[in-house]
A and B are shown apart, each in its own frame.
Chain A
Amino acid sequence: MERTILHCDMNNFYASVECMLDMSLKGKAVAVGGDVENRHGIILAKNYEAKKYGVQTGEALWQARQKCRNLVIVPPHYEQYIKYSKLARQIYAEYTDLVEPYGMDECWLDVSGSIGIYGDGEKIANKIRERMKFELGLTISAGVSFNKIFAKLGSDMKKPDAVTVISKDSFREQIWQLPASDLLGVGRATQKVLTLYGIKTIGDLANASPDLIERRLGKCGLMCIRYAKGEDISRVMPTDFEPPVKSVGHGITAKQDLENPAEVWNIMLSLTQDIGHKLRVYGKRAGGVQIDIRNNQLRHKQWQCRLSNRTNSSAIIAKTAFELFVKNYKWEYPIRSVTVRAINLHSAIEAEQLDFFGNAEETAKRERLETAIEKIRDRFGKHSIQPATLYRDIKMPNDREVELTMPTGLII
């Protein structure tokens, strides 16, 4: 039986969410920038208006500002991206239980079983596209085809807010003239080899000699040929959404060198406030803590240890980080920068083997307290409540969007 597969891609996801939340950004060139107050901040995402000026993901903020004087750069709001990614998936789930996320803003849907109820693939794609706009204020581009590879290709062909159908009868005319590198699976290295043999388009690839391709590119090469011919048979695998976060870390370079343990403690305490918040947002608990200390000779040292009970508590992570520091740092030089990371992350709901010596009760109590603090911050702002010592000048760089460890594997 011929399958009907959709690939839905939320357009300019981060930037679109920002513009949807703040209507005053409408019509302006907008970019999401990491670490906005820092010279080394980069563009994480941009909207179409910013694209027109040539603003690129990954470039330095100052470069982007040079290209586009009126560029509005906003800091990222990951908790919102996660929220809207989940809401989008709830919509998809109404049409099929076969939903496979690909990064935060893309999903494959196998709707073969739903056609009797909702109409053909194009109809379903358009329904989803309209709902996404009406319910979430976000646009998607969707590809509809009989395999995952072509569905993905289709979602890239018309953007934003559009549907492209690639059918079994017409795919040769529709896509064989496109560059081979448009196909998922044909990476830069593969493309280089293909070019050597004059293989430029998807059609060239489909008609290439399998022997030659296998000799030069192995099994992957043969797979690419199958893709080009529309013979991909991989299934849409329903997976539970888990932002693939491996660690959450924050680091800063101090305004002036840190000279004693008390100053290091203040910085660590401050850094871990954000770490605890992020862990809660991602629904994770840390099983260990890692610190990275750079002295004013710019030499790095890194240490890590396990936590006896997994936690998302800022205070416990701070305390552990500080103990690790006191135990290991020899104070040959003052300190220039400090990074604290929560590592060995586990889903917050995962069962845990409790350590006989750990104090699980104390940890749970501490977490409840911090959940209450979170609620206050939610309502009255991040700085409405914090450890008293942090209200003083603690050599923290001003108005920081601290160097945020990007959750790995997120597609912008």
Chain B
Amino acid sequence: MAESVKYRKVYVGVELSVSPQGDVRPRTIIFEDGNKYQIDRLRQKCRAHATKVGGTGIRYTVIICNKETYLYEDDGRWFVEAKDIGG
């Protein structure tokens, strides 16, 4: 059964590392409730439309606990597309 899953834009804190060349890499995602998630790998970086929640940004394809997910940076703020539970 194709149940439609709802998503919402959740702004998050991000710990970054910056190389001497100025390349920015997100390292950790911190949710508002304090939960921290280590980014294990960075797979891709491109500008993209966030098709699930709207808006656009620089999209980082990241691996967290063996799962691939998108992290976006838009005008200095970072967000993820979170599944809306109980919505």
Interface residues of A (CB under 8 A from B): 20-23, 87, 133-137
Q: Interface of chain A, helix or strand or loop or mixed?
A: helix
How far is B68's CA from A260's CA once the two chains are assembled, in angstroms? 64
Using CB atoms, name the residue of chain A closest to B54. Answer: A23
Q: Which of B46, B49, B53 has the most CB of A within 10 A?
A: B49
Using CB atoms, name the residue of chain A closest to B46. Answer: A135
Tell which of B48, B52, B53, B54 touches A135, judged by Cβ atoms closer than 8 Å: B48
How far is B50's CA from A20's CA once the two chains are assembled, in angstroms? 9
Using CB atoms, name the residue of chain B closest to A132. Answer: B49
Q: Are A20 and B56 in contact (CB under 8 A)?
A: yes
B13 interfacial by beta-carbon distance below 8 Å: no
Using CB atoms, name the residue of chain B closest to A91. Answer: B47
How far is B54's CA from A382's CA once the two chains are assembled, in angstroms? 22
How far is B51's CA from A135's CA once the two chains are assembled, in angstroms? 10
User: Count of B residues near A, CB < 8 Å?
Assistant: 11
With A135-B46, A135-B47 as known contacts, state yes or no: A23 contacts B52, CB within 8 Å.
yes
Interface residues of B (CB under 8 A from A): 46-56
Using CB atoms, name the residue of chain A closest to B75. Answer: A83
Contacts of A20 in B (CB 8 A): 49, 54-56
Contacts of A137 in B (CB 8 A): 49-51, 54-56
Contacts of B48 in A (CB 8 A): 134-135
Contacts of A134 in B (CB 8 A): 48-49
How far is B46's CA from A23's CA once the two chains are assembled, in angstroms? 21
Q: Are B56 and A136 in contact (CB under 8 A)?
A: yes
Nearest 6 pairs of A and B residues by beta carbon: A137-B49, A23-B54, A135-B47, A21-B54, A21-B55, A22-B54
Tell which of B46, B49, B52, B53 touches A136, judged by Cβ atoms closer than 8 Å: B49
Using CB atoms, name the residue of chain B closest to A23. Answer: B54
How far is B50's CA from A22's CA once the two chains are assembled, in angstroms? 11
Q: Are A133 and B54 in contact (CB under 8 A)?
A: no
How far is B56's CA from A136's CA once the two chains are assembled, in angstroms? 6
How far is B4's CA from A23's CA once the two chains are assembled, in angstroms? 14
Q: Which of A23, A87, A134 has the most CB of B within 10 A?
A: A23
Q: Are B55 and A135 in contact (CB under 8 A)?
A: no
Contacts of A136 in B (CB 8 A): 47, 49, 56
